[in-house]
Amino acid sequence: MTLLWLESSLPMVRIDRNHPASLQRQIYDLIREAILGGALAPGTRIPSTRSLAAELGIARITASNAFDQLIAEGYLETRKGDGTYVGRTLPDDLLALPEDPRLGTRVRPPQLPSHRGQALERLWDQGVYQKAGLRPFQMDAPALDAFPFELWGRLESRHLDRSAAMNLAYCDPAGHPPLREAIAAHLRAHRAMACDPGQIIITHGSRQALNLAAQVLLDPGDAAWIEDPVCPDARTAFTCAGAHLVPVPVDEQGLDVAQGEALAPGARLAYVTPSHQFPLGVTLSLSRRLELLDWAFRAQAWIVEDDFDGEFRYAGKPLASLHGLDRQARVIYLGTFSRALFPGLRLGYMVVPQDLAKAFRSARALADRGSSLVPQMALTDFFNEGHFQRHLRRMRIVYGERRNVLVEAIRQSLGHLLSVRVPDSGLDLVADLEAGSGDVALVRQLARGGIKLIALSSLYQRTPSRSGLVFGFAGFPERSLRAGIGRMVELLGEPG
Amino acid sequence: MTLLWLESSLPMVRIDRNHPASLQRQIYDLIREAILGGALAPGTRIPSTRSLAAELGIARITASNAFDQLIAEGYLETRKGDGTYVGRTLPDDLLALPEDPRLGTRVRPPQLPSHRGQALERLWDQGVYQKAGLRPFQMDAPALDAFPFELWGRLESRHLDRSAAMNLAYCDPAGHPPLREAIAAHLRAHRAMACDPGQIIITHGSRQALNLAAQVLLDPGDAAWIEDPVCPDARTAFTCAGAHLVPVPVDEQGLDVAQGEALAPGARLAYVTPSHQFPLGVTLSLSRRLELLDWAFRAQAWIVEDDFDGEFRYAGKPLASLHGLDRQARVIYLGTFSRALFPGLRLGYMVVPQDLAKAFRSARALADRGSSLVPQMALTDFFNEGHFQRHLRRMRIVYGERRNVLVEAIRQSLGHLLSVRVPDSGLDLVADLEAGSGDVALVRQLARGGIKLIALSSLYQRTPSRSGLVFGFAGFPERSLRAGIGRMVELLGEPG
């Protein structure tokens, strides 16, 4: 370590040859801090790079590179034939900084973010988004152990050679056109949906799709039907758009359209999960589908069909979508690849009416200019080469087995407490608690022991709630499901 | 083709063995349409699968699979020992559909989207987001011909094997933690920024970062300073958040802080591009930086520092950021990888004050749950293995040469019309037009000939505007730049 006073005007300059920062950077930092801290006043003459280098025993080029940077940034200035000075035009009074600037001392309390920013902070505090690993029986993950990642890697790298480079500039914000064609073909063939690629908007998944729908369809104060109970994501997205939420009860036929009309006939939007209602798992009946479409037509309202689990039906083929029944272009259909492929992919899509395509494309462009391109290209091949259908077929078998194992384990070990029906679709199931047991307290108790469930009653808004536990089973091999139930038995044996 | 009447109740059923849809699907579709179209009334008895199969000459399993699906969806119902019927509970009056349902005939005019949705449509119509390939001298693309895509492909596929599978569930919405560490280390080492990984939020690029900043920091009606002239993206993001925009003139020292204070001393936010003002290319001087920070401290306002071209300085190192001077945690710093790497990657980042980290993480989670994971992992390696610095060094040389070629070509061939200075940073430059020439008309004339420029005057809001042309040069090899100027000469020789 070298320790010096440099002429009278310069503060102590410490150069440490073992410091990770380069010598040039150390000189730059020290002079900059001396100016900003007021130790070197505007107009002060600075020694030449030659004498600085000599005193510090360093190469002159090192000192002069540091000076060049300080000159470029306005800290120093040169006068022809007259050496280097601290910039004269620097506002003297602004150079006095609070003590210990390195600690970022704040002498006034920070200004708060916007009201929306404060609401977002509260959401964070409520734990709405926090995730900590994957514990049984979280619902976030599909069977990552069964995804063909090596194949996927090959599909991605195919598009990463020089010949493909020119495709990697900005693309259509609505998504890679061949991917939109592949999705449209899939929906036509497998979900009875007549749509063309121009109606498809690629998203970063359902949550973004919900936000785009809320932005494009709802003005602040507009009424929106949501299912009761409902998935928290939908509630959050529509609330953030300033909508007035109208919880509509769900019975064994799905959303009760007549009650929705009684509560808010003039709502602008209805949010539904027709294939597999979350969390109850019921299917929206055909009569209700027709009633809902009829209401939307009469009220000139929109229907947001969130088909997040639509691909996973264990008896027969996936049910036709509500979108496929819609003759009035009232339905906005949301699909995701987080469950069919993997969540880290961050891709999903929406099918929007032709009349709204421009507004949705614009909203998507404004949000973030579109999704990452290489994953979109790989997904296109995954569809076009038949992997998607093959993977779904395999996964339906895997998930059907996981579902059976979970139901059996619950019945065997927790049958005295929980009653459960075998769901015929979806990646989660509800087990009802004996009357009188509080699901919220139970879920909290189990969480302390590493078991992650959702209390059914916490998903209700207004309707008298059922008490139960929502289990996700897709992300866990059969032995983990059994072990999870074993752990529950253990925890429930302990004094709460 | 088989053509039949099935008993008295069923309409004509056409089965086409050459049709791309399976026989099962054809039967399903025909019966479903007959029910929805009213040809088959609720309660009508349907022939058995056995007789249907016999009449059509198909396997019975085909017919019975089609029936199962129709039963599952509620179109048909079975009664024990009594065959199959059209669902009795279907609401009779809802089954009458408008004519030619396949064409989606709309008998009422569609309801309009929300006011925001309508504004988004207008933005689209104004061509704000439209992109049509890459023509000289568009500014959207870096030198895609010089990016190491093969290396990138290897880095991506490294993370796509079975062992990595468990990492591919949902990740931290603020971004892959090792990537945030790598970026923080880069900023500490190369941009004089003291920040820790907890302050870094990975985004889909600058546009998303601008939206997040607008949401978290601005309430509707809040005043926000923007540079005049300004990049349209920033204007759009703040406008969409309902902010009242205050254009503040830019001179050769950058944003005129004193004028900003005179116009709107109580603004909540100032948007600046200090390293390379867009479009003028000037650097915000050190005095102005200090004045701006001082104002933000006194007004308790935020500064959004958009450093989109900060890495590209041709003389010496990149300039230190405004963020590095900030001792009061007023600066939100935006960086992008669209220019340093490639736009199709859709990754960028922001560095936010500790106090705001929670609100920004929450906003990011709400928007779309975070970015695609595999590209984030590849980018982490790209940093940690030294490729990022190496690539930037190479690109500074490539871009410096492209800049020189463009300036020389303009001076040689268009010197009578345009005057241009060699910019010392950035991937674009401004050429001033001779007084009296209208840049908007000129840009329109050149666009018809395949040359894409921006009229400088169109980027001004309020300040008396300069007339000039904004050229992007990064995306074009030297021969394309020369050819583009040649084409301009040709076009300008033709009668406008």
- Once rounded to an integer, what is the mean pLDDT over residues A311-318? 82
| Distance (Å) from the alpha carbon of B230 to chain A's nearest alpha carbon | 17
pLDDT in tens, A231-276: 988 999 999 888 999 999 999 999 999 999 999 999 999 999 999 9
Q: Name residues 340-369 of chain B within 8 A of A (Cβ).
A: 342-347, 353, 355-356, 358-359, 361-363, 365-369
Kindly state whether residue B432 falls inside one of the protein's structural domains.
Answer: no
Burial class (CB in 10 A: 0-12, 13-18, 19+), A435: exposed
Kindly state whether residue B281 falls inside one of the protein's structural domains.
Answer: yes
Q: Name residues 193-222 of chain A within 8 A of B (Cβ).
A: 194, 203-205, 207-208, 211, 215-219, 222
Kindly state whether residue A408 falls inside one of the protein's structural domains.
Answer: no
pLDDT in tens, A205-238: 999 999 999 999 998 899 999 999 999 889 999 9
Q: Which has more pLDDT, A166 or A304?
A: A304
Check whether residue B274 and residue B378 sit in a common domain: yes
Check whether residue A190 and residue A287 sit in a common domain: yes
**A102: which chain B residues are within 8 Å (Cβ-Cβ)?**
194
Check whether residue B238 and residue B357 sit in a common domain: yes
What's the CATH code of the domain at A61? Answer: 1.10.10.10
A412-417 contact pairs (CB < 8 A, 24+): A413/A485, A413/A486, A413/A488, A413/A489, A414/A485, A414/A488, A414/A489, A414/A492, A417/A492
**B69: which chain A residues are within 8 Å (Cβ-Cβ)?**
316-317, 319
* Residues B398, A369: Cα–Cα separation, whole Å: 27
* Residues B139, B459: Cα–Cα separation, whole Å: 14
Check whether residue A171 and residue A89 sit in a common domain: no
Bridge-based pairing state of the strands A331-336 and A302-306: parallel
Nearest chain B residue to A302 by CA: give it: B111
Look at residue A378 in the predicted model and tell me its pLDDT: 93
Check whether residue B188 and residue B324 sit in a common domain: yes
DSSP secondary-structure letter at B341?
A: T
Look at residue A132 in the predicted model and tell me its pLDDT: 53
Which residue of B372, B381, B425 to mutate against A (max A Cβ within 10 Å)?
B372
Check whether residue A221 and residue A341 sit in a common domain: yes
pLDDT at residue A459 above 70? yes
- Once rounded to an integer, what is the mean pLDDT over residues A150-178? 81
Look at residue B164 in the predicted model and tell me its pLDDT: 65
Contact: B172, A131; criterion CB under 8 Å: yes
- Once rounded to an integer, what is the mean pLDDT over residues A357-363? 93
Indicate the residue among B32, B61, B93 that finishes a domain: B93
Check whether residue A172 and residue A74 sit in a common domain: no
pLDDT at residue A462 above 50? yes
Indicate the residue among B386, B408, B443 that finishes a domain: B386
Contact: A129, B344; criterion CB under 8 Å: no
Look at residue B93 in the predicted model and tell me its pLDDT: 60
Residue B472 touches partner A, C-beta closer than 8 Å:
no
Check whether residue A330 and residue A182 sit in a common domain: yes
Q: Which ipTM was obtained for this model?
A: 0.82
**A116: which chain B residues are within 8 Å (Cβ-Cβ)?**
215-216, 219
| Distance (Å) from the alpha carbon of A444 to chain B's nearest alpha carbon | 23
Angle subtended at Cα B172 by Cα B170 and Cα B174, rounded to the nearest 5 degrees: 130
Q: Which of A359, A451, A248 is nearest to A234 (CA)?
A: A248
- Name the domain count of chain A: 2
**C-alpha torsion sign, points A431, A436, A442, A444:** positive
Kindly state whether residue B264 falls inside one of the protein's structural domains.
Answer: yes
Q: Name residues 260-289 of chain B within 8 A of A (Cβ).
A: 268, 285-287, 289
What's the CATH code of the domain at A240? Answer: 3.40.640.10
**A140: which chain B residues are within 8 Å (Cβ-Cβ)?**
169-170
Check whether residue A84 and residue A169 sit in a common domain: no
pLDDT at residue A457 above 90? yes
**Per-10-residue mean pLDDT for chain B, 496 residues long?**
39 68 84 80 84 85 87 83 81 52 42 83 76 77 87 86 67 92 92 90 95 93 95 90 94 96 96 95 93 94 93 82 91 94 92 94 91 91 96 94 97 95 93 86 93 94 89 94 96 74
Structure tokens belonging to residue B156: 């991506």
The chain-wide mean pLDDT, for chain A, equals 86
Kindly state whether residue A489 falls inside one of the protein's structural domains.
Answer: no
Check whether residue A69 and residue A196 sit in a common domain: no
Kindly state whether residue B447 falls inside one of the protein's structural domains.
Answer: no
Check whether residue A48 and residue A173 sit in a common domain: no
- Once rounded to an integer, what is the mean pLDDT over residues A155-173? 76
Kindly state whether residue A464 falls inside one of the protein's structural domains.
Answer: no
Burial class (CB in 10 A: 0-12, 13-18, 19+), B145: middle
Which residue of B219, B253, B286 to mutate against A (max A Cβ within 10 Å)?
B286
Range of the domain at B333: 165-386
Look at residue B91 in the predicted model and tell me its pLDDT: 65
Kindly state whether residue A173 falls inside one of the protein's structural domains.
Answer: yes
Indicate the residue among B386, B420, B448 that finishes a domain: B386
Residue B75: which of A124, A286, A362 has the nearest Cβ?
A286
Check whether residue A347 and residue A265 sit in a common domain: yes
pLDDT in tens, A36-87: 877 788 888 888 888 888 888 888 988 888 888 888 888 888 887 778 888 8
Look at residue A167 in the predicted model and tell me its pLDDT: 66
